[in-house]
């Protein structure tokens, strides 16, 4: 199988390798998943760097814990009916050497969660670390219906999902961003406060006069004074990151308010909490309660670039990665759709003088590069051009094949004259490796 791995810790470009490794075989209680997309999260790159002085946990590591794909083999004790099931995977590289940055990954069957039919693979690959962390932050101390939940970094990976889950759970959500200019980004269905406002506490209390019940905290050291100022008796601060390792906090005011500080390390959440999170995330995604934007896919051989993207930091938008089936070269299937009166496209409608096709990473279509800048494109997306580029070899309106149906969905939007991959619905911490 194709895989990416490292045998020592260090900078991505220096230690990450790409090549062929033996196909894994599922053991008792395990399933093998043919990976379609592999999610890259900040925790994956920290492990690769040896963050906080951690050592290599195994002689060789295939990174990444999150993925989406299809079960193609099961071990002893697993119902064979699972073969062929679309799943999303979490925890693949948690206390295990080989994660999801490969054609195949093997995990305990409970870590491969059935993916609802209407949820794209790209979204499934984003539900693991960020989704389960967000769920624990919101629901770790019980239901939130009728409460006020303050979510810091509401446009970030965990924050965006936490806000949507809290809203799904019946809470009144208040979000924050770091700077006022970030308020101009797409409007969210709940109030958002800029932390550089002269009085962010007053702004928050305008929406929660009695104080907030829960705080989802992305930077404990930076925000704890504000959190204490907007808390009420019994508030829970659920923190999954901090700016400094040994933060101070206003002890006596927080003591008198009986504030609970809950620290969240996703690898060691209770198994029952992870399973409940997985069930709730699947339900929320299937019912449209969550929207996730998908970053531009990186090919697996460019995994170092995906890691560098995460390591560099992207403000309120961290990244992930996704990987497809590499056993066969990309196929062409299907028919060029025509344009409807509304300007959208329908499968099987009459072709017109236009071409709809897939543009693949690092590939060139003769003449196309003259019309569209492909230098920063990665992954597969749909593109329409008004007429065939010279030398493309496909007259307008012919039958071409596509490697998956041409149906609009999250991460798969039909566009005219694309100069960049289609955008999703909300920021998320993921680049996709294809």
Residue-wise pLDDT for 268-282, tens only, equals 999 999 999 999 999
- Give me the mean pLDDT over the 423-429 stretch: 28
User: What's the distance, CA 23 to chain centroid?
Assistant: 26
Report phi then psi at 183, rounded to 5.
Answer: -70, -20
The answer on pLDDT for 131 being more than 90 is: yes
**Rounded-to-integer distance, Cα 92 and Cα 108, Å:** 8
Residues comprising the chain, all counted: 434
Tell me what pLDDT residue 312 has: 80
| Domains of the chain from N-terminus onward | 2-128+269-312 (3.90.180.10), 131-267 (3.40.50.720)
The answer on pLDDT for 185 being more than 90 is: no
- Going by the DSSP 8-state scheme, the letter that residue 255 receives in this structure is H
The answer on pLDDT for 87 being more than 50 is: yes
Tell me what pLDDT residue 403 has: 37
Q: Residue 211's CB: how many other CB atoms inside 10 A?
A: 17
pLDDT category at 94 given cuts 50, 70, 90 is very high
User: What's the distance, CA 313 to chain centroid?
Assistant: 15
- Give me the mean pLDDT over the 62-69 stretch: 96
Q: Which two tokens stand for residue 137?
A: 């932050």
The answer on pLDDT for 416 being more than 70 is: no
List the beta strands (DSSP E) in 83-141.
Answer: 86-89, 104-108, 112-114
Report phi then psi at 216, rounded to 5.
Answer: -100, 115
For 342-385, the pLDDT digits (tens) are 333 333 333 332 333 333 333 333 333 223 232 222 222 222 22
Q: Which two tokens stand for residue 297?
A: 């896919």
Tell me what pLDDT residue 323 has: 52
Among the listed residues 390, 388, 380, 335, the one whose alpha carbon sits nearest the alpha carbon of residue 359 = 380
The answer on pLDDT for 408 being more than 60 is: no
Percent of the chain residues topping a pLDDT of 70: 72
The answer on pLDDT for 211 being more than 90 is: yes
pLDDT category at 320 given cuts 50, 70, 90 is very low
Cβ(377)–Cβ(420) below 8 Å: yes
- Going by the DSSP 8-state scheme, the letter that residue 419 receives in this structure is S
b/e per residue 341-362 (b: at least 16 CB within 10 A): eeeebeeeeebeebbbbbbbbe
**H-run or E-run covering 369:** helix 368-371
Tell me what pLDDT residue 418 has: 28
Predicted TM-score (pTM) of the model is 0.75
How large is the angle between the packed helices 271-286 and 157-168, nearest 10 degrees? 80
Tell me what pLDDT residue 297 has: 75
Higher local confidence (pLDDT), 315 or 206: 206
With a CB cutoff of 8 Å and minimum separation 6, the contacts of 59 are 7, 97
Tell me what pLDDT residue 314 has: 53
- Give me the mean pLDDT over the 12-26 stretch: 96
How large is the angle between the packed helices 129-139 and 271-286, nearest 10 degrees? 100
Tell me what pLDDT residue 310 has: 85
Strand 338-339 relative to strand 297-298: parallel, antiparallel, unpaired?
A: unpaired
Tell me what pLDDT residue 311 has: 83
- Site of tokens 């099931």: 85
Coil vs helix vs strand at 102? strand
Tell me what pLDDT residue 247 has: 95
Tell me what pLDDT residue 195 has: 97
pLDDT category at 157 given cuts 50, 70, 90 is confident
**Rounded-to-integer distance, Cα 369 and Cα 377, Å:** 11
**Rounded-to-integer distance, Cα 350 and Cα 356, Å:** 13
**Rounded-to-integer distance, Cα 222 and Cα 219, Å:** 6
Higher local confidence (pLDDT), 387 or 45: 45
């Amino acid at each position: 199988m194709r895989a990416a791995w490292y045998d020592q810790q260090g900078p991505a470009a220096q230690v990450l390798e790409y090549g062929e490794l033996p196909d894994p075989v599922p053991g008792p209680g395990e399933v093998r998943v043919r990976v379609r997309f592999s999610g890259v999260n900040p925790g994956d790159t920290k492990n690769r760097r040896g963050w906080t002085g951690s050592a290599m946990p195994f002689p060789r590591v295939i990174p990444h814990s999150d993925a989406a794909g299809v079960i193609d083999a099961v071990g002893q004790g697993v119902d064979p009916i699972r073969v062929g099931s679309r799943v999303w995977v979490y925890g693949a590289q948690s206390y295990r050497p080989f994660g999801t940055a490969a054609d195949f990954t093997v995990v305990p069957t409970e870590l491969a969660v059935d993916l609802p039919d209407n949820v794209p693979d790209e979204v499934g690959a984003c539900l693991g670390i960020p989704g389960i962390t967000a769920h624990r932050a919101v629901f770790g101390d019980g239901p939130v219906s009728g409460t006020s939940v303050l979510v810091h970094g509401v446009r970030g990976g965990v924050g965006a999902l936490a806000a949507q889950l809290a809203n799904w759970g019946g809470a009144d959500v208040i979000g924050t961003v770091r700077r006022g200019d970030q308020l101009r980004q797409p409007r969210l269905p709940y109030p958002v406060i800029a932390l550089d406002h002269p009085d962010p506490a007053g702004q928050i209390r305008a929406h929660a006069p009695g104080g907030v019940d829960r705080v989802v905290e992305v930077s404990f050291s930076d925000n704890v004074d504000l959190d204490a100022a907007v808390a009420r008796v019994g508030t829970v601060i659920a923190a999954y990151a901090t700016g400094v390792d040994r933060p101070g906090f206003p002890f006596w005011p927080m003591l008198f308010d009986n504030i609970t500080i809950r620290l969240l390390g996703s690898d060691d959440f209770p198994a029952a909490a992870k399973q409940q999170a997985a069930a709730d995330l699947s339900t929320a995604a299937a019912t449209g309660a969550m929207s996730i934007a998908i970053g531009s896919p990186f090919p697996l051989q460019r995994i170092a670039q995906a890691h560098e993207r995460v390591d560099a930091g992207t403000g309120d938008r961290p990244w992930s990665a996704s990987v497809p089936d590499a056993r066969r070269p990309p196929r062409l299937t299907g028919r060029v759709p025509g344009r409807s009166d509304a300007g959208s496209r329908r499968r099987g409608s009459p072709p017109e003088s236009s071409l709809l096709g897939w543009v693949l990473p690092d590939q060139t279509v003769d003449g196309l590069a003259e019309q569209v800048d492909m230098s920063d494109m990665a992954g597969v997306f749909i593109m329409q051009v008004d007429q065939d580029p010279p030398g493309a070899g496909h007259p307008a309106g012919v039958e071409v094949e596509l490697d998956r149906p041409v149906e609009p969905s999250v991460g798969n939007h039909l566009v005219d004259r694309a100069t960049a991959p289609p955008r999703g619905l909300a920021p998320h911490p993921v680049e996709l490796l294809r």
